[in-house]
Structure 1
Amino acid sequence: MVDTGRSRVFGEVAEVYDAARPAYTDALVAEVLAYAAPGGRGCAALEIGAGTGKATVPFAEALGRASGGAATELVCVEPDARMAQVLRRNTENRPGARVRVHVGAFEDWRPDGRDFGLAFAATSWHWTDPRRRWDLVHEALAPGGALALFWNPQGVRDPALHSALAAVDRRHGVTGAPHGVLASSFGEVPGHWAGLPAAWPEDECRRDGRFTDLRAVRYRQDLSYGTDRYLGCLASLSGYRVLPAARRAAALAETAEVLDAHGGGIPMTLFNDLFLARTR
């Protein structure tokens, strides 16, 4: 069963989450829409666990362009009302698909007879109930409709910095920090995330049997965070949100000290790993 308590801690820092979390590459958005061909299959799309709109905004804009000016709609299901508030602000009065926000769990949402040509989840599929999610998304998609699941894990490029930060994490019981994994430990295959939770959906999808044309694509880019930006990113992660406030503050302060001692900031590699499938 999914840990719904841990999955809904992000709303405590919705603004920090929105400002600090990395975006998804435009190439990923283009790949998904080329696969889904929404202009020829119907314009309605569904986003599962939209958060503050890190993926919603570029997808809404791209869906609007793909529709050739026809009315198009993106329905966003987000369980946390605080995140949904930022999502609404980020998507109102923007060009592209009309965004409708539904506040509630994906497991409680129903398509009410609508068939969606595309459903996607940006770093949120692992928060859904594994016993029900394939049934629910299959119910929502039209025959031949596309499913896109993607994540943006990161790894630190500097082994010495990785080691120093790992010592801070051990002292404070932090788990799942991006700097806890070396970028060099990532394999070449999408979904190969050494040391990270096993979230890659391909095996589950194959066992389900109702989807076909399975594909996997990886994008990567090197980037550097300043200390403040990186601390904001960490503060928005569930591994930090579940810590007692005093311990979280101490862990972040010590992390800042390590980063400053290494010249300030942190060099990372960002991976955008994409899984695609369509209903038979």
Structure 2
Amino acid sequence: MADGEQIDMARSQVFGEAADLYDRGRPGYADALVTEVLEYAALDGRPALEIGAGTGKATALLAARGTELECVEPDPRMAAVLRRNTAAHPGVRVRVCTFEEWDPEGRRFGLVLAATCWHWLDPDRRRDGVHAALVPGGAVALCWNPQGVRDPRLHAALAEVDRRHGLDDTPHGVLASHYGELPGDWVGLPGWPEDELRRDGRFTDLRTRRFREELHYGTDRYLAHLASLSRYRILPADRREQALSDTARVLDAHGGGITMGHLSDLLLARAR
């Protein structure tokens, strides 16, 4: 295994260490995105499959619309929070395993959703697994929620903290103005999979959408968000705490928080 692959594997396995922080600090998805997904999928009572459901940021929104969901989440600590967050929705079933290990038990689904996790899946197997899980004409929805800092002065001050601690690709590492106009036009984020699906003849009717919001985080919530991220989780504890403490001082000096331009980028496709 190459060094880069080892780092990616390490990052993919650390979220559960901070499952409650992840749930409290991570941004969610726009309600309009969920509406778009459900209108496109036209489930008509068919169940949906969610890959890498985490603590249920997207799950809870779908379940609240009456969607029956099978959720695959590899980390038992994340799955415990997911069960808690969806306890009011009896149509949600949680399976603790990777998507590659998951057994569909002969079932097929009207929708497969992967919210900010497609890049963690095995690139040689993920399209096969998704296509096999879908009914003919079933929908796949892939989405991410990148963010960018509104204030250039705050961005510059936080960049200095990141440089001091050897951090890269942090949520405040990009100015909101640096994002392009099209879905997937990102800076420093995992690759947008539109070309990947377009080259695969088993998927058709590709559509993309972008939803925009503005989010303000108080200092404590933003630190919880950072502390849940893999690039912080893999740091030694003392280095992580110092980086977060230095970040807090910058935020408090700039009014006690940070305002982010928040995007929800969506890619839709159908199984032929």
Per the normalisation by structure 2, the TM-score is 0.95
Aligned to 1:13: 18
Aligned to 2:87: 92
Equivalent residues of 2:207, 2:267 under 8 A apart: yes
Distance across 1 between alignment mates of 2:18 and 2:216: 22
Cα distance between partner residues in 1 of 2:185 and 2:173 = 15
- Could you say which residue in structure 1 is the equivalent of 2:29? 24
1:124-139 correspondence to structure 2 within 5 Å: 124-139=117-132
* Correspondence for 1:177 among 162, 170, 175: 170
Q: Provide the rounded CA distance (Å) in 1 between the counterparts of 2:42 and 2:68.
A: 15
Q: Which amino acid aligns with 1:11?
A: G
The one-character-per-residue Cα deviations of 1:211-251 (angstroms, maximum 9, x if unpaired) are: 00000000011121110010010000111111111111010
Contact 2:10 2:234 in 1 (8 A): no
Q: Map of 1:256-275 to 2, 5 A cutoff?
A: 256-275=248-267
User: 1:246 corresponds to which letter in structure 2?
Assistant: D
Q: Distance in 2 between matches of 1:22 and 1:93?
A: 21
Q: Secondary structure at the match of 1:12?
A: helix
Structure 1 position 175, deviation (Å): 1.8
Q: How many Å apart are 1:112 and its aligned residue? A: 2.0
Q: Does 1:163 find its partner at 2:156? A: yes
Between the aligned partners of 2:252 and 2:132, the Cα distance in structure 1 is 50
Rounded to whole Å, the distance in 1 between the matches of 2:103 and 2:197 is 21
Q: Distance in 1 between matches of 2:212 and 2:257?
A: 19
Q: Secondary structure of 1:200's partner?
A: coil
The residue aligned with 2:68 is 73
Equivalent residue in structure 2 for 1:229, among 221, 224, 235: 221
Q: Which runs of 5+ in 1 are unaligned?
A: 65-71
2 CA distance for matches of 1:177 and 1:259?
15
Aligned to 1:69: none
Residue type at the aligned position of 1:85: A
Paired residue for 2:54, among 45, 51, 54?
A: 51
Q: Residue in 2 aligned with 1:67? A: none
Distance 2:157 2:9 in 1: 32
- CA separation of 1:198/1:21 partners in 2, compared to 1, >3 Å: closer, same or farther? closer
| Structure 2 residue aligned with 1:251 | 243
Q: What is the RMSD of the two structures over their aligned residues, measured on CA atoms?
A: 1.2
**Separation of aligned partners in 2, 1:232 and 1:104:** 26
Across the two proteins, how many residue pairs are aligned to each other? 267
| Contact preservation (8 Å) 2:148, 2:262 | yes
Give the 3-state SS of the residue equivalent to 1:100 in structure 2: strand
Where structure 2 has 5 or more consecutive residues not aligned to the other structure, the ranges are: none
Cα deviation, 1:129-163, whole Å, max 9, x if unaligned, reads 11100000000001000000000010001111111
* Distance of 1:138 and 1:16 partners within structure 2: 33
1:110 is displaced (CA, Å) by 2.2
**1: CA distance between counterparts of 2:265 and 2:184?**
6
> Separation in 2 of the partners of 1:61 and 1:199?
30
- TM-score, normalized by length of structure 1? 0.93
Q: Which runs of 4+ in 1 moved over 6 A?
A: none
Partners of 1:31 and 1:44 in 2: how far apart?
A: 17
Could you give the per-residue CA deviations for residues 9-39 of structure 1, whole angstroms, max 9, x where no partner exists?
A: 1100101111111111110000000000011
Match of 2:194 in 1: 202
Match of residue 106 from structure 1? 99
Match of 2:78 in 1: 83
Q: Percent identity?
A: 67
